[in-house]
Amino acid sequence: MKDISLALENLNEVFPPHFTEAQIAKAKTLFLKRLSGDAHRFYKGKTQVISKAPVIGFNWFNVWYTPGVSTVSTTIRDNNNSSFELTNRGNLVAVVSDSTRVLGDGDCTPSGGLGVMEGKAFLMKYLGGVDAIALCIDSKDENGKNDPDKIIQFVKMCQHSFGAINLEDISQPNCFKVLDVLREECDIPVWHDDAQGTACVTLAGLINSLKLAGKKIGDVKIVLFGAGASNTTIARLLITDGADPAKMTMFDTKGSLHKNREDIKADARFYRKWELCQTTNPNCIMTMDEAMEGADVLISLSTPGPETIKREWVRKMGEKSIVFACANPVPEIYPYAAKEEGAYIVATGRGDFPNQVNNSIGFPGILKGALMVRARKITDNMAIAAAHSLADYAEKRGINVENIVPNMEEASVFPHESADVAMQAIKDGVARCPMTWEEAFQKSKKDIEYSRGLTKSLMDNGFIEKPPIEMIKAALQWAIEQVQ
């Protein structure tokens, strides 16, 4: 076994040379999952609360708490908006989930989602300079069914403590109602990252993929495999940005969506899917084999597993085809397999493969932009503006078939994205604190540098320990043994 760095760089090179690409892909998945469990246990999670005000002497406790803090309470009482200036509310996001659809693992019970929600908060702080807290809740009613109204009530009750709400891992169809109601009835932005965030970054990836393929979004034939919150929102944003719904076919677990799907029409909870039944697939294409014939784009957010998307489907696609297989933690088809069947560009949701199309490059900048101008909501236009911001940033620094969007290491993308989102919020009339693009960019840049500098300082001074190399090597050795 070759040596492996603490940064886990060049992961493909640490596996035995006789491993096939399929074995390497499987071993990487096993290694990362084993290491994740061990590392979370070692650190007892990923986030903590840390003070940002000084304690110079004993009397400062009387300033930060009673009796001095009384003036903060009465000032906010008389003007609730002052809470954004006198407390951390203006830069604080609640990551709210009932954990009913956690990644590809389904219902994990409320506390089962904490690892993901903490991860969201972790990324928000480091990448976007935004503070966040995980709130996993029980949405079951007296009959044991998950009730969207419980989530709605919870968010409306706690919104006064936060500058924005990030909804996460809520199963459909509840996720549609929860988002649509809260977007209209809350006085702060409510964002569903599985839907809007994934759609934003997918659109960004597709914009640049089409540039490389020499195709236009209005001309291409698009197949969407999976009809959950992510893909239904992706379809909506693609259409809004110029895709032709008549050239779009979507599939759920029962088949293609079309105007004759009476089962979807009869269930009012699936109104988002019914909208797509009425606007896409006018010829009522019924099978994937037919839909994939000559298709330009496949976007799959479905069941994890390397054989969910069949090789023969990819083989049927047109020239310079684009395949996004974005299920987590395992893509529906591995990139090497899609490439072997003729795909020109392949993207997944994972960072250990080229072209990670993952909402991690979207939500930190989008939420930061919304918070800076104190937006009342995050509009679809703001999500589309973020997509074009990401695509433009990547194009300016150079794109190719294995590098279509920025990655999380490109720190400078987030201030650009947040400033562009802030400007769109102002244009859409949902901002309460207008500012210039340069002001937004500089504020975002400063906050992100602060967050990264804080983490580095804690690491340099030993307050955050380095992960034991033995733990990493043990996880790697275990993964290799499982595959051999």
Q: Is the peptide bond before 304 cis (omega within 30 degrees of 0)?
A: no
Query: Distance between CA 406 and CA 412 in Å, rounded?
Result: 10
Cα–Cα–Cα angle for 276, 247, 392, rounded to 5 degrees: 90
Query: Distance between CA 95 and CA 154 in Å, rounded?
Result: 12
Question: Rounded to the nearest 10 degrees, how much is the dihedral formed by the CA atoms of 180, 238, 421, 91?
Answer: 40
Catalytic residue, candidates 65, 216, 427, 446: 65
| 65 tagged catalytic | yes
Query: Distance between CA 278 and CA 288 in Å, rounded?
Result: 19
The dihedral sign for the CA sequence 45, 49, 50, 55: negative
Catalytic residue, candidates 26, 28, 120, 177: 120
Using only C-alpha atoms, the chain has a radius of gyration, in whole angstroms, of: 23
Contact criterion met (CB below 8 Å) for 308 and 327: yes
| 427 tagged catalytic | no
Cα–Cα–Cα angle for 8, 9, 13, rounded to 5 degrees: 100
CA distance to 77, 379, 435, per residue, from 421 (Å): 31, 10, 12
Query: Distance between CA 164 and CA 179 in Å, rounded?
Result: 13
CA distance to 110, 303, 476, per residue, from 310 (Å): 34, 13, 29
Residues marked active site are found at 65, 120
